[in-house]
Amino acid sequence: MNRPYPSALLESAVNEFAKLPGIGRKTALRLVLHLLREDNASVESFANAILTLKNEVRYCSCCHNISDSEICNLCADPNRNSSIVCVVENIKDVMAIENTVQFKGQYHVLGGIISPIDGIGPSDVEIASLIERVETKEVKEVILALSATMEGDTTNFYIFRKLEPFNIKVSIIARGVSVGNEIEYTDEVTLGRSILNRTPFEESYKLNQK
């Protein structure tokens, strides 16, 4: 049983925090009480950072990543190869791939993946703009870097079909045993795929030297 909070203001703040994903009511209360102990300036800067982001955020007109300007830093960078476009689900994937320092092309952020069960169809994600980008700009290769789930596979296949008429290279990031993982603990599907998609040893060895 849970008794009412001693203050309606407190309860409303806790309710708001508890709406966030992965935040339960106990955690929400802990966070709200933490903010209550902070000085006014800190709490205002917390609230303002969120409001400013929400009100002023823009999305790059080219890759649809979050950006402060019309064209994001990655798309505007002349050192990046604009003829290779890596298709990802969201901005976290861009950051993850950027962290590898292995990719020097540009991105295309779908903002979601096709998931009929969640009511997300092809028109709800940025696929049309990807096709347009391939149509109007000099794109030589599209790399599909979506999650290895059923929804990711569906989306990959849909995009592949849409890109077929353009006669460009469409590749997909390798699926196989994760670096550092042991063979015996790798799931069967991944292991099977990694055998079918085996790579010439020289190639793999050269990659390891980099």
Considering the complex, what minimum distance in angstroms separates the CB of residue 37 from a second copy? Answer: 9
How distant, in Å, are the alpha carbons of 43, 149, 175 from that of 189? 49, 12, 10
- Residue 137 as a binder of a second copy (CB under 8 A): the answer is no
- Residue 56 as a binder of a second copy (CB under 8 A): the answer is yes
Nearer to a second copy, 91 or 168 (CB): 91
- Residue 205 as a binder of a second copy (CB under 8 A): the answer is no
Name residues whose C-beta falls within 8 Å of residue 32's C-beta, 6 or more positions apart in sequence: 10, 13, 14, 17
Kindly report the backbone phi and psi dihedral angles of residue 92, in degrees, each rounded to the nearest multiple of 5, phi listed first.
Answer: -65, -35
From 79, 101, 201, 210, residue interacting with a second copy (rule: CB under 8 A): 101
- Residue 20 as a binder of a second copy (CB under 8 A): the answer is yes
Tell me which stretch binds a second copy (CB under 8 A): 97-105, 159-167, 173-181, 199-207: 97-105
- Residue 103 as a binder of a second copy (CB under 8 A): the answer is no
How many Å apart are CA 15 and CA 8, to the nearest integer? 10
How many Å apart are CA 188 and CA 176, to the nearest integer? 11
From 70, 77, 98, 118, residue interacting with a second copy (rule: CB under 8 A): 98
Nearer to a second copy, 17 or 158 (CB): 17
| DSSP result, 175-192 | -SPPTT--GGGS-HHHHH
* C-alpha triplet 137, 59, 155: angle, nearest 5°: 65
Nearer to a second copy, 7 or 149 (CB): 7
Nearer to a second copy, 7 or 181 (CB): 7
